[in-house]
Structure 1
Amino acid sequence: MPFDPHCVDCWIFDLDNTLYPPSTCLFDQIDERMGLFIQGLLGCDAIEARRVQKLYFHDHGTTLSGLMHYHATEPHEFLGFVHDIDMAPLAAAPRLADRLAALPGRKLLFTNGDDAYAAKVLAGLGLENSFEGVWDIHAMLYRPKPEISAYTSMIEAFDVTPKTAVFVEDMARNLAPAKALGMQTVWLDLATDWGDRAKDDAAIDLVADDIEKWLDHTLASLADPPSLG
């Protein structure tokens, strides 16, 4: 079914490469530091660390989940190390902040990162006051998107009604559980190498390629009365 913003009272957004563009290369820094962490942990070279990193990411949802499963890695240690990056590439996004503020209803952040990192990113974007709450990897008990428990626990914690919520995310595979639970879904297709992996077209209500343009269109649609047809 086509996306209908008129019935949405809760807007749920992913963080990385959703609220800021991949061109900032922020995740490239994180990616590099994950490799360094694995090299130190396993005593391996960069090539083997890369292989392990991507294997765990694809098989367990996040590299951290794989490291916890196979190596009993302490999550705070790992996250503190890999998120120790330069936030200078981020730029304040006042137009995005204005559009988020104009959306009627609640706004939540749903990220496989942690809350400390999310706070730094939001500060860099000037979005510190844009979201009611953050559901992060700690709150998920380290069972990340697309694990269904990540979604159900967030729904319960924030008293979200799925049928009146929408989830906006750049990784298509993370939309399927939201759709199965009754949410509307928007895939932010930014033509990245990973964004369309395990894509299920039936789980996607709308595809967009620019978050601000999508919000402009959504707000314009909301200004019109809902169709009765």
Structure 2
Amino acid sequence: MIDRLSHVRNWIFDLDNTLYPASADLFAHIDRRMTAFIAELLSVDLVEAHRIQKAYFIGHGTTLAGLMAEHQVDPHAFLAYVHDIEMDVLQADAPLVAALARLPGRKLVFTNGDRPYALKVLERLGLGGSFEAVHDIHAMDLRPKPHPDAYAGLCAAFALDPAESLFVEDMARNLKPAKAIGMTTVWVDNGSEQAPDADRSYIDFHIHALAPWLEQILETQ
């Protein structure tokens, strides 16, 4: 392990577009399901539904958070609907499996999705046995990243010292609260970021793909 990361005992990973490449475009299927859900809920066309969806994402952190705040949507019904997708675009990632196995310390998934969906994705990627636990939107009491409570709750649930923890995310804005409590931050800049921000001072490592970076930090003497 490189000296700069010798302090890390807890390796925390986002799920979508982080543990698999954004080029797989899995989230596009979820995105379309969210748009359809909103169109039916609010009796609007798909163009207006998509506009509302993105406005809620930007304004509330997730589309679900916006729907709950503005329309009292049942989160379980929403998540079941939007996650009802095929996952044949995902393939097992042997290099990532191997790299994660070599990391010293605890490994966790921290996702704004729900646990059943996360487990299906992990199994598809060959990562079913790679993580200690999945901390999902329900474990966050439905307060998603980047809400500070989500990070505090994660640390409390697993007795994590933020100063010994590293968090990997494709959404740069979700790294800011992690950095604020002392975590080392890694941004997977793969084109999935939907809220561009000129301020990147809270990012410690700027990468483009996860497995090659893990291999690099593990092989560097």
TM interval, shorter chain, is over 0.9
Name the residue aligned to 2:14. Answer: 14
* Counterpart residue number, 2:39: 39
TM-score (norm 1): 0.93
Distance 1:7 1:133, change over 3 A: same
Q: Unaligned regions of 5+ residues in structure 1, if any?
A: 225-229
Structure 2: which amino acid aligns with 1:198?
Answer: D
* Residue 36 of structure 1, CA deviation: 0.6
**1:158 partner amino acid:** F
Cα distance in 2 between the residues matched to 1:179 and 1:3: 19
- Once the 2 structures are TM-superposed, how far is the Cα of residue 198 of structure 1 from its aligned partner? 3.0
Which position in structure 1 is the counterpart of 2:110? 110
Q: What is the CA deviation profile of residues 182-224 of structure 1, one whole-angstrom value per residue up to 9, with x for unaligned ones?
A: 0101111113352x62353221111011111100111113xx3
Report if the CA contact (8 A) 1:173-1:199 is conserved: no
- 1:39-76 residue CA offsets vs partner (Å, 9 max, x unmatched): 11011110110111000000000000000001110000
Rounded to whole Å, the distance in 2 between the matches of 1:145 and 1:22 is 19
Q: In the comparison of the two structures, how many residue pairs are matched?
A: 220
* Pair 1:193–1:100, CA change in 2 (3 A): closer
SS in 2 for 1:202: coil
Residue deviations 1:149-174 (CA, integer Å, cap 9, x gap): 00000000000011111001011101
Residue type of the alignment partner of 1:219 = L
**Identity across matched positions, percent:** 53
Q: Is 1:198 aligned to residue 214 of structure 2?
A: no
Q: Equivalent residue for 1:75?
A: 75
Tell whether the 8 Å contact from 2:56 to 2:63 is kept in structure 1 after alignment.
Answer: yes
CA distance in 2, matches of 1:24, 1:38: 24
Partner SS for 1:109: strand
- 2:201 aligns to what SS in structure 1? helix
TM-aligned CA distance change 1:10 to 1:199, over 3 Å = farther
- Distance in 2, matches of 1:100 and 1:71, equals 40
Q: Which runs of 4+ in 1 moved over 3 A?
A: none
CA distance in 2, matches of 1:187, 1:115: 23
Contact 2:185-2:202 within 8 A present in 1 as well: yes
1:213-224 residue pairs with structure 2 within 5 A? 213-221=212-220, 224=221
- How many angstroms does 1:95 deviate by? 1.3
Q: Which residue of 2 aligns with 1:227?
A: none
Q: Could you say which residue in structure 2 is the equivalent of 1:100?
A: 100
Give the aligned partner of residue 126 of structure 1. Answer: 126
Other-structure match for 1:142: 142
Comparing 72-81 with 198-207, greater Cα deviation is found at: 198-207
AA matched with 2:15:
L
In the alignment, is residue 26 of structure 1 matched against residue 16 of structure 2?
no
Return the alpha-carbon distance in structure 2 between the equivalents of residues 109 and 159 of structure 1: 15
How far does the alpha carbon of each residue in 1:68-98 deviate from its partner, in whole angstroms, 9 at most, with x for none? 0011100000000000001100001111111
Which amino acid is the alignment partner of residue 104 of structure 1?
P
Q: Residue 106 of structure 1: CA displacement?
A: 0.3
Q: TM-score, length-normalised on structure 2?
A: 0.96
